[in-house]
């Protein structure tokens, strides 16, 4: 059997009386897109935060590349190759596309931000940043201020910031949020390419995107995974249809 890249074992997380994660078990296998769907407030982002290391589970284990990373912080996990699409807020609007990607690389290297100007002159780092930007299709937008990017371009910039670190897995929390049909379709094509770089755990509300991209889908409801399966299995699962697809 193939070793999972990422493995969540019996993870629990409560916020007071609220069960945000209840006995979560989930794997991400090499080469796959595993979509995580569920109604608002089901606990999708909470799970992503625990995997990335922003939140500590109350119980359970998170394994990445065969290693228990439950006690590691976000930076250590990122350095191991856990690529998280940065929140929009981590994109600095007054920086250019290239500068933002350099900043992501510098963050992972752990260099003090006081040395940002020096890092910007480092050819190896800027070359890496440029390559990541080119791979997401922002090659001709390197010198554009992040604040002047379209919504879709900004999402791509976030992914470039993750991609620059040469991740072994991607965690993407709603990459299509706020995009029109056109943008979502373009992002879908893009993620279909991105899967060749590393497997993707994809939280997404856009069902067209999920159904066309996912190898497997897990459905979260009130902090619990109520089903995991192929697109066909999930589409036809009566419990899922009741809980999520509104039938
Ligand atoms: P989703 O991403 O599926 O919409 P979230 O993981 O953001 O859901 O939230 C799951 C539940 O946990 C929600 O009821 C939310 O209000 C609650 N929640 C999330 N973060 C916190 C927090 N830091 N403190 C208290 N409650 C939280
Ligand atoms: Mg969320």
Report which ligand 1 atom has the smallest distance to the Cα of 16.
25
Q: How far apart are CA 217 and CA 207, in angstroms?
A: 11
- The number of the ligand 1 atom at minimal distance from the alpha carbon of 38 is 3
pLDDT of residue 188: 92
Nearest CA to ligand 1 atom 6: 43
Radius of gyration of the CA atoms of the chain, in A: 18
pLDDT value of residue 89: 54
Ligand nearest to the CA of 20: 1
Residue with the nearest Cα to atom 20 of ligand 1?
46
Q: What is the predicted pLDDT for the residue at 141?
A: 97
Cα 124 to ligand 2 centroid, rounded to whole Å: 36
**Cβ neighbours of residue 127 under 8 Å, at least 6 residues apart?**
none
Amino acid 114: pLDDT: 67
Cβ neighbours for 241, distance < 8 A, ≥ 6 positions apart: 247
**Per-residue pLDDT of the chain in tens (247 residues, 90 and over written 9):** 689 999 999 999 999 999 999 999 999 999 999 999 999 999 999 999 999 999 999 999 999 999 999 999 988 898 899 988 755 457 899 999 999 999 888 877 766 666 677 777 788 889 999 999 999 889 999 999 999 999 888 888 998 998 998 899 999 998 888 888 888 898 899 899 999 999 999 999 888 899 999 999 999 999 999 999 999 999 999 988 887 766 6
Backbone angles phi, psi at 205, to 5 degrees: -90, -25
Residue of the CA atom closest to atom 16 of ligand 1: 41
Model pLDDT, residue 246: 65
Res 78: pLDDT: 86
- ipTM entry: 0.98
pLDDT recorded at residue 113: 65
- Is the shortest distance between the CB of 45 and ligand 1 below 6 Å? yes
Question: Ligand 1, closest atom to CA 55?
Answer: 23
- What the block records as the tokens of 13 is 């997380």
Q: Is the CB of 223 under 6 A from ligand 1?
A: no
Give helix then strand counts, H and E, for the chain. 10, 10
């Amino acid at each position: 059997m193939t070793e999972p890249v990422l493995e969540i074992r019996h993870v629990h997380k409560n916020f007071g009386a609220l069960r945000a994660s209840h006995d979560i078990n989930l794997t991400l296998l090499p080469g796959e897109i595993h979509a995580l769907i569920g109604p608002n407030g089901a606990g999708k982002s909470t799970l992503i935060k625990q995997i990335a290391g922003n939140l500590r589970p109350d119980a359970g284990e998170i394994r990445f590349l065969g290693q228990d990373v439950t006690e590691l912080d976000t930076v250590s996990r990122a350095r191991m190759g856990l690529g998280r699409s940065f929140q929009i807020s981590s994109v600095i609007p007054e920086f250019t596309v290239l500068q933002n990607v350099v900043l992501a690389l510098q963050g992972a290297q752990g260099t003090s931000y006081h040395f940002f100007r020096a890092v910007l002159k480092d050819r190896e780092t800027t070359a890496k940043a440029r390559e990541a930007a080119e791979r997401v299709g922002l090659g001709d937008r390197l010198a554009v201020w992040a604040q002047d990017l379209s919504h879709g371009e900004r999402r791509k910039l976030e992914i470039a910031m993750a991609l620059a670190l040469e991740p072994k897995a991607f965690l993407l929390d709603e990459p299509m949020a706020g995009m029109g049909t056109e943008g979502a379709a373009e992002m879908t094509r893009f993620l279909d390419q991105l899967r060749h770089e590393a497997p993707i755990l994809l939280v997404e509300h856009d069902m067209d995107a999920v159904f066309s991209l996912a190898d497997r889908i897990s459905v979260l409801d009130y902090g619990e995974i109520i089903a995991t399966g192929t697109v066909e299995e999930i589409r036809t699962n009566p419990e899922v249809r009741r809980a999520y697809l509104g039938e």
